[in-house]
Amino acid sequence: MAPRFASLRDAIAELIHDGDAVAMEGFTHLIPFAAGHELIRQGRTDLTLIRMTPDVIYDQLIGAGAARRLVFGWGGNPGVGSLHRLRDAVERGWPRPLELAEYSHAMMSAAYVAGASGLPFGVLRAGIGTSLPQHNPGIRPTTCPFTGEVLTAVEALRPDVAVIHAQRADRKGNVQLWGILGIQKEAVYCAQRSLVTVEEIVEALTPVPGAVVLPASTITAIALEPRGASPSYAHDYYARDNAFYLAWDAVSRSRDRFAEWLRDLRAAS
């Protein structure tokens, strides 16, 4: 089935509901910020937010009270410091308590691959002897049936919705992305539904070195959203706004300044 082309507002309203498990992926590159902002504007709540690196996009959603639970690997502002809205939620329960399920990056990657493969769990070598399994029931030791080696099993990720941003789609709904590819393909393949925002919609996709094409049949909805990854970046379209990431630190540290940011975001709808 071909995806629907919709406005971002309609696509979010249709695909993402209160209480859903949502994976918004993009490893530093192509982070779907516009979709995150639309979730905040529509007041979505009780979400389980899944992401290898929560980044500023989840700091904003957590600060807005949209999340009940966070599934993640590394929750910092890359090269800058803490995500202070995330810390405020975990350390002081503000604006609401946040449940955590945390993994290493390789564990989370294996859990996405397992979900995309239709398997119940993924397997890897790291994690033995760490405290991670004591605090996350999705991580358990297992034994190799062939060699007897003790390995780490991670429960497959199966989000209700995956949200990614890509450079472009064609009119049939095939989606093309390139540059740092992250885990977007696996996120889309393991989710029940998927929403892709794109920089542009073209008649036909031309080849780009290193690009990945997600066939139209894997996508539920596409929304045209130029600059939809800003302040992260879209390779060959615009650069990462590192100055924004640096400046976010002061906004994120203060509940008042964050509330001001939130008011401005909601007013700009």
Stretch that binds other proteins, among 10-18, 190-198, 244-252, 258-266 (CB under 8 A): 244-252
We find the least distance from the C-beta atom of residue 127 to other proteins, in angstroms, to be: 6
**Which range touches other proteins (CB under 8 A), out of 3-11, 34-42, 126-134, 217-225?**
126-134
Q: Is 202 helix (H, G, I), strand (E, B) or coil?
A: strand
Q: Which of 12, 39, 47, 109 binds other proteins (CB under 8 A)?
A: 109
By CB under 8 A, residue 246 contacts other proteins? yes
Unique residue bearing structure tokens 């949200």: 163
262 binds other proteins (CB under 8 A): no
Q: Is the CB of 130 or the CB of 217 nearer to other proteins?
A: 130
Does position 38 interact with other proteins (CB under 8 A)? The reply is no
Return d(Cα 98, Cα 85) in angstroms, integer: 11
Nearer to other proteins, 10 or 244 (CB): 244
3-class DSSP assignment, residue 146: coil
SS3 245: helix
Shortest CA distance to 140 belongs to which of 149, 117, 151?
Answer: 151
The residue (of 135 and 171) whose beta carbon lies closer to other proteins is 135
* Residue 80 binds other proteins (CB under 8 A): yes
Nearer to other proteins, 1 or 203 (CB): 203
Cα–Cα distance measured from residue 20 to residue 22, given in angstroms and rounded to the nearest whole number: 6
- Binder of other proteins out of 48, 60, 104, 220 (CB under 8 A): 104
Residue written as tokens 């410091």?
Answer: 81
In this structure, the strands spanning 67-72 and 99-102 are parallel
- Rounded Cα–Cα distance for residues 237 and 242 (Å): 16
| Region from 37-45, 121-129, 157-165, 254-262 binding other proteins, contact rule CB under 8 A | 121-129
How many Å apart are CA 48 and CA 182, to the nearest integer? Answer: 20
Q: Provide the residue type at 15 as one letter.
A: L
Find the length of the chain. 269
Mark the segment that binds other proteins (CB under 8 A) among 7-15, 39-47, 109-117, 214-222.
Answer: 109-117
CA angle 160, 70, 116 (to 5 degrees): 40
CB of 4 to other proteins, least distance (A): 26
- Beta-carbon count within 10 A of 180 CB: 14
Residues that bind other proteins (CB under 8 A): 27-29, 52-53, 72-76, 78-80, 82-83, 86-87, 90-91, 102-107, 109-110, 112-113, 124-132, 135, 167, 179-183, 185-186, 210, 212, 227, 233, 235-246
